[in-house]
Amino acid sequence: MRPRARLLAMAAAIAAVLTVGAGPAWAAQDVGTRLVLTPTSATVDGKPVAIHAELRDANGKAVGGALLRLMVPVDFMGSTKDEIAAEATTNAGGKAVLRFSPAAAGPVEATVTFWGSSGYAGSEAPVSFDVQTPVVVYTPAPVGLQAWWARSQMILLPFAVVWSVYVLVLVLVVRIRRAGASEPEQAPTR
């Protein structure tokens, strides 16, 4: 067999294996899903909000192990883009809880999405928030000295002690130098 004919035969065999492994096109269709949220709108007053989600397929069967994402629009440098604000995986009953902690006041129109997985099509459901008071995720720690004595004049004590030692050393050095200059030089003895 010639090298070219052998190459064509190998390519045909590989194509046949790949086609059989892929299966028919109609078998690749995903089952539709439906996402139900509770609540569909919420007022945020300084505390995180819990959104209860339930994912079911088109037949009403719970979809477990599905990753749900809360997508929130974020404005950055003049363009708006949806960012993931929370994630949760559904349990065997198809239920999950997403927790949202908004950082800015105002209305937020978000979406809970399931991007789809093996055998299931994606779905989404809208949710809205009226953020009255943003959630304080952390409180910054005060910077600087926080000791009780640091708030008074006691902070000056270490500086005073150090500079007093410097002055004392300077005075002693000057005295030693003067004492050495006032003594007459003695001639070396042989």
Residue 147 clears pLDDT 70, i.e. is over it: no
Sheet (strand 95-100) strand order: 33-38, 49-57, 95-100
Rounded average pLDDT over 27-40: 78
Report which of residues 182 and 163 the model is more confident about.
Answer: 163
- Both structure tokens of 101: 């902690």
Task: Determine the pLDDT at residue 97.
Answer: 93
What pLDDT does 23 receive?
42
CA 74 to each of CA 20, 43, 69, 108, 112: distance values in angstroms, whole numbers, following the listed order: 45, 19, 15, 10, 15
Write down the mean pLDDT value for the chain.
80
What are the tens digits of pLDDT across the range 87-141? 999 999 999 999 888 888 888 888 999 998 878 888 999 998 888 888 877 777 7
Closest C-alpha among 90, 94, 96, 72 to residue 82? 72
Higher-confidence residue of 147 and 157: namely 157
pLDDT score, position 5 = 66
pLDDT at 80 over 60: yes
- When pLDDT is cut at 50, 70 and 90, the band that residue 152 belongs to is low
User: Residue 27 pLDDT > 50, yes or no?
Assistant: no
pLDDT for residue 162 is more than 80: yes
Q: In the chain, where are the structural domains located?
A: 29-133
pLDDT at 137: 74
Say which CATH topology domain 29-133 has.
Immunoglobulin-like (2.60.40)
- In the prediction, which pLDDT does 52 show? 92
At 11, is the secondary structure helix, strand, or coil?
Answer: helix
Give tens-digit pLDDT for 15-26: 655 554 444 443
pLDDT at 54: 92
Residue 29 has pLDDT above 70, yes or no: no
